[in-house]
Amino acid sequence: MTNRAAFVGATTQHCSLATSKLDVQSVSKWFRTSRANVHALAEVSMQVAAGQIVCVVGPSGCGKSTLLDIIAGLTQPDAGQVFADGQEVAGPGRERLVVFQEPSLFPWLNVFGNVMFGLRLCPELRGDERRDIAHHYLSLVGLEKFEKAHVHELSGGMKQRVALARALAPDPQVLLMDEPFGALDAMTREHLYDDVQKIWADSRKTVVFVTHNMREATCLGDRILLMSSAPGTIARSFDIPLSRPRSIYNAELVAHAAAVADALRGTMGGGVPE
Amino acid sequence: MRRAVVVTAFFAGLLLIWELAAETGWWSPVLFPSAVSVARYLWGAMNDGTLLEAIRVTLQRLLLGYVIGAAIGLPVGVLTSSSKIMDDTLGSLALGLQTLPSVCWVPFAVLWFGQTESAMLFVVVMGTVWSVIIATNHGARTIPPIYAKAARTMGSRRLHLWMMVMLPASLPFLVSGMKQGWAFAWRSLMAAEIFVTILTGFGLGQLLHYGRELNAMDQVIGAMMVIVLIGLLADRILFAPWERFLHRRWGMDGG
Ligand SMILES: Nc1ncnc2c1ncn2[C@@H]1O[C@H](COP(=O)(O)OP(=O)(O)O)[C@@H](O)[C@H]1O
Ligand SMILES: [Mg+2]
């Protein structure tokens, strides 16, 4: 396992360190509980260039969320480091904002208040600037009519749109998305792929997008990193040289997705279901 | 509007049936006083000041005991939620003592403090504190950790994190813990006032107690009605606004 991780680390060195926005170096993580000692990540290395979308794909429990938490600075790795713009990540900060897998909007604030939360923590902005930015991002995700709505009144898709607006509003350098659309129905999801591509085309954020959906990864990613589990390692890396915007019904895209899916089955030792 | 009419009609009907039943004279008026004689007692007690004084004394004791109970219970509840050892020790102690009806603290309190205000206060605090600890412990465990995670990525730290995230996130359990504490404080105080006879203050429970001593059923029933009324009013004034807020923001389940 360690060999393979080292190998992948070597092959991805073509992203020179100076230009890579995110540089994850041999990160390992164990979770020690009273019942078990889980080796969640084993020497994971990856680089993401500025303005790139990298999708991390892997079966449930392979350590995707753990990896994202470590990049965000929410979890400390047991070994290895993460560099953002050449600076070691020591803790969470608003240069790297997260759209979480589970619902994370604050129920005591309305939609507008949720988007304002991060903006209020930007001391360089004036009050009216904050409000303008919040309006802007809410209309970007198509929710300008729901600014006054309470969180529990929104559908799942709307909640994740608000979470996206909340993460975009403080203008982070890096956007970390942890299976943000995993709980949504297919139609809502497809709609959101278009939105994400549109927003990315305008803002050129650096994005790490975690998913276990092959087509989703192929639709959004410049690169796909395939993870294998127990312990979590990056098994393979695929470039997706398709033009944007992409549709998940595009035949070429489907072919790429199938190739990644085959490789995933290989890393899982003969098609173990999730 | 229609609801108010229905409620008024229901209680008016109840009073009417009561009055008519008393009028039949089938029961002794000493044991079954008419609604009118209870009203007459309440009116008299109101005018000679005994009722308002009793309400004042009772509310003063209640608030003091409740505030002390909550001030101890909330932090201890947070403490028990924060670690396994605390939960196993303090948490199980609270769980055990909460099952003890608060009137059982009365002999203990009287032996320790005598027939004093302190005995009364002790019973109320003991009646309140355990249920506040348990409600807070349970509630603090159910705050989704994702809120703090999300806030920390956006740059929220220390005081900001506590005031703008942890405090509002804990509102559902704070309100339910405080409400449960209030209900227990109220019940324990009535038990204490009935069983601890002291001269430093004459509360509603004592009004009830002396009503029995004097065989004054109108006083007993009148005091009971005032006690119910205060319980309802406290719920409306102290907790209903918070519960409405939670319902609006959190949705149906309030959690
Ligand atoms: N806080 C934690 N305590 C103990 N084990 C954990 C914790 N977080 C994650 N794990 C374990 O680490 C592994 C990776 O989890 P995770 O990163 O959530 O996987 P994924 O997001 O790919 O589904 C799993 O086996 C999970 O049970
Ligand atoms: Mg996950």
Out of A32, A34, A38, A226, give the residue to mutate to test ligand 1, the one with the largest number of ligand atoms within 8 Å of its CB: A38
Q: What's the pLDDT score for residue A153?
A: 93
Across residues A226-241, what is the average pLDDT?
89
Q: Is A97's CB within 8 Å of B151's CB?
A: no
pLDDT at residue B128, rounded to an integer: 93
d(CA B109, CA A215): 70
> What per-residue confidence (pLDDT) applies to A16?
42
A107 touches chain B (CB under 8 A): yes
Give yes or no for a contact between A106 and B147, defined as CB atoms under 8 angstroms apart: yes
Q: What's the pLDDT tens digit per position in A59-89?
A: 888 999 999 999 999 999 999 999 999 899 9
Domains of chain A: which residue ranges?
2-95+172-267, 106-171
Q: Of A73, A179, A158, which is closest to residue A115 (Cα–Cα)?
A: A158
**How many other C-beta atoms are found inside a 10 Å radius of the C-beta of residue B150?**
28
**The CATH number of the domain where B84 resides is what?**
1.10.3720.10
- Given a contact cutoff of 8 angstroms between Cβ atoms, the answer to whether A226 and A240 are in contact is no
- Residue A74 contacts B, CB cutoff 8 Å: yes
Distance of alpha carbon A112 from the chain centroid: 23
ipTM value for the complex: 0.86
Cβ-defined contact of B249 to A74 (cutoff 8 Å):
no
Residue A269 has pLDDT above 60, yes or no: no
User: Has residue A270 got a pLDDT over 80?
Assistant: no
Distance CA B50, CA B190 (A): 17
Say whether residue A92 is in contact with chain B using an 8 A CB cutoff: yes
Q: What is the mean pLDDT of chain B?
A: 91
**Letter string b/e over residues B20-55, b meaning 16 or more CB atoms within 10 A of that residue's CB:** eebeeeeeeeeeebbbebbbebbeebeeeeebeebb
Contact A74 B149 (CB under 8 A): yes
Q: What angle do CA B88, B91, B96 make, to 5 degrees?
A: 105
**Mean pLDDT of the residues in chain A:** 87
Say yes or no to pLDDT of A3 above 70.
no
Instruction: Give the separation between CA A22 and CA A207, rounded to whole angstroms.
Output: 10
3-state secondary structure of A223: strand
Q: Cβ contact (<8 Å) for A96 and B165?
A: no
pLDDT score recorded for residue A19 = 57
Say if CB A119 and CB A125 are below 8 A apart. Answer: yes
Query: Which residues, numbered 111 to 150 in chain A, qualify as contacts with chain B under a Cβ-Cβ cut-off of 8 Å?
Result: 117-118, 121-122, 150
Q: How far is the CA of A67 from the centre of ligand 1 (A)?
A: 10
pLDDT at A36: 87
Residue in B151, B144, B149 with CA at minimum distance from that of residue B173 = B144
Asked if residues B168 and B249 have their Cβ atoms less than 8 Å apart, the reply is no
CA A33 to chain centre: 27
B114 domain-assigned: yes
Q: Which domain holds residue B62?
A: 31-250
Residue B17 lies in a domain: no
Q: Which residues pair with B236 in a beta bridge?
A: none
Q: Alpha-carbon distance B128 to B72, whole Å?
A: 10
Report, as an integer, the average pLDDT of B147-174.
92
Cβ distance A109 to A163 under 8 Å?
no
Cβ(B29)–Cβ(B209) under 8 Å? no
Q: What is the DSSP letter of A232?
A: B
Average pLDDT on A151-166 reads: 94
Q: What percent of chain A has pLDDT over 90?
A: 66
Contact by Cβ (8 Å): B62, B182 = no
Q: Are A207 and A191 in contact (CB under 8 A)?
A: no
- The answer, yes or no, to whether residue A18 has pLDDT greater than 50, is no
Q: What is the phi/psi pair of residue A54, to 5°?
A: -110, 125
Q: Which of residues 188-227 of A touch B (CB under 8 A)?
A: none
Q: Tell whether the model's pLDDT for residue A44 goes beyond 60.
A: yes
Binding-face residues of A in 146-185 toward B, CB within 8 A:
150-153, 166, 170
- Worst-scoring range by mean pLDDT, A62-71, A158-167, B176-185, B222-231? B176-185
Query: Distance (Å, rounded) from C-alpha A228 to C-alpha A264?
Result: 8
- From chain B residues 112-171, the ones with a CB under 8 A of any chain A CB are 144, 146-147, 149-156, 160, 164-165, 168-169, 171
Higher pLDDT, residue A274 or A54: A54
Q: What is the number of alpha carbons within 13 Å of residue A146 lying toward its C-beta? A: 24
CB burial readout B100-136, b (16+ within 10 A) else e: eebbebbeebbeebeeebebbbbbbbbbbbbbbbbbb
Number of domains composing chain B:
1
Say whether pLDDT at A168 is over 70.
yes
Q: What is the mean pLDDT of residues B160-170?
A: 90
Alpha helices in chain A (DSSP H): 2-11, 64-72, 111-120, 127-140, 156-168, 186-203, 214-220, 251-267
How remote is the C-alpha of B238 from its chain's centroid? 11
Does residue B223 lie within any of the structural domains?
Answer: yes
* pLDDT of residue A8 exceeding 50: no
Q: Work out the minimum CA distance from B144 to partner chain A, whole angstroms.
A: 9
Residue B4 belongs to some domain of the structure:
no
Question: Chain B within 8 Å of A70 (Cβ-Cβ)?
Answer: no
Three-class secondary structure of residue A44 per DSSP: strand
Distance A225 CA to ligand 2 centre (A): 15
Nearest neighbour of A92 by CB, restricted to B146, B152, B249: B152
* Pick among B153, B244, B248 to test the A interface (most A CBs inside 10 A): B153
Q: Please compute the mean of the pLDDT values over residues A99-119 and round it to a whole number.
A: 95
Q: Structure tokens of B80?
A: 């028990």
Looking at the partner chain, which of A74, A107, A121 has a beta carbon nearest the beta carbon of B155? A121
Residues 6+ apart with CB under 8 A from B68: B121, B125, B128
A268 pLDDT tier (thresholds 50, 70, 90):
low
The tens digit of pLDDT for each residue in A147-156 reads 999 999 999 9
What 3-state DSSP class applies to A183? Answer: coil
Domain A2-95+172-267: assigned CATH number: 3.40.50.300
At B252, the pLDDT band (50, 70, 90 cuts) reads low
Contact A138, A111 (CB under 8 A): yes
Give the mean model confidence (pLDDT) for residues A200-214.
Answer: 92
Q: What value does the mean pLDDT take over residues A193-205?
A: 91
Closest CB from B153, B155, B171 relative to A108: B171
